[in-house]
Structure 1
Amino acid sequence: MFSEPASKPAIAKLYTITQGKTLLYVGITKQRVSSRLNYGLKANGKKGYHGYKWKDITDVLQLGVWTIKDGNNYIDSSEIEIIEAEVVYLCRHKANQWSKYQYEIHFHQSKKHHRDLATEIYNLIPDP
């Protein structure tokens, strides 16, 4: 069960999956987090999507979910996507490896505030 804002549709969210000290995946969604995870965990390839690459791991995984406000409003998905790429880059830069199951990332030009937010998020993830 997720609480708001993770349970609200239309709000851009960044989420991370870690296993112990290993960052496995960074994603974004505007769906309810439960809906997005369900879709990725249950996909079987019938419509071309096989789901998360990490879905068959049986060990304990840790989920982190972030939303970001600018004043009274949540930032949009294009801003979250920039931060997502910066978090993945930080993993590559600091751990000398991409997040283990990160097979797609969209890079955009970032500004200092994007990189600062990505650093804050990355620092809350266990060290890889």
Structure 2
Amino acid sequence: MENYSDFDKLTLTLFENKISSFVDNSNGSILKSFHERLTKKSLPKIYIIKENNLFLYIGTTTQSLTTRFRYGLNATGKNGYHGYKWKTSKTIQLYVWCFQSMSKQQIENIEAELAFLIRTKTGKWPLKQNEIHFNNEFDNGKEIAEKMLIHIQ
């Protein structure tokens, strides 16, 4: 059983397609980079990006967040990928949950349920969402998404 109140909450400042500062919102400390667990490879993660209380994006990755964000912030459209639509934001709030024991399909199911819950509660999909991976492979996805969303509203 995962602990949905155990997540990372950071404020990131962006400058010229790079993260220029990391602040841990749980204690106000300034960090040099992401928390160690967020840089682990092969560890499934769900992350939510907010700006001024607006939901911008929900993503999943098994990569290190350092690698994933570098790719999404630096993409120029080569090979068709333009990167994150929110990469021009100046300051964002990042919420990240790590899931030791879930498959890619389960994580993507939770991602879709989170996007739908946000749409239901706000009337809008996450504002800078590129795509959502829908599937019906995990019966507990909606319940988990609800538990996660409670912590960041």
Whether the TM-score (by the shorter chain) exceeds 0.5 is: yes
Bigger drift between 78-87 and 1-10 goes to 1-10
The percentage of aligned residue pairs carrying the same residue is: 39
Could you list the structure 1 runs, at least 4 aligned residues long, displaced by more than 2 angstroms after superposition: 2-5
Give 1:30-69 correspondences, 5 Å limit: 30-58=62-90, 60-69=91-100
Q: Considering Cα pairs closer than 8 Å and 6+ residues apart, tell me whether 1 or 2 has the greater RCO.
A: 1
TM-score by length of 1: 0.87
Q: Which whole-Å deviations, capped at 9, do the CAs of 1:81-122 have from their partners, x for residues lacking one?
A: 0000000000011111101011211211141x2111101111
Query: Superposition RMSD on alpha carbons, in Å?
Result: 1.3
Contact 2:45 2:98 in 1 (8 A): yes
Instruction: Using the TM superposition, give the Cα deviation of residue 63 of structure 1 relative to its aligned residue in structure 2, in angstroms.
Output: 0.6
TM-score by length of 2: 0.74
Q: Verify: 1:98 aligned to 2:130, yes or no.
A: no
Higher strand share: 2
**Number of corresponding residues:** 120
Contact 1:11 1:76 in 2 (8 A): no
Contact 1:18 1:63 in 2 (8 A): yes
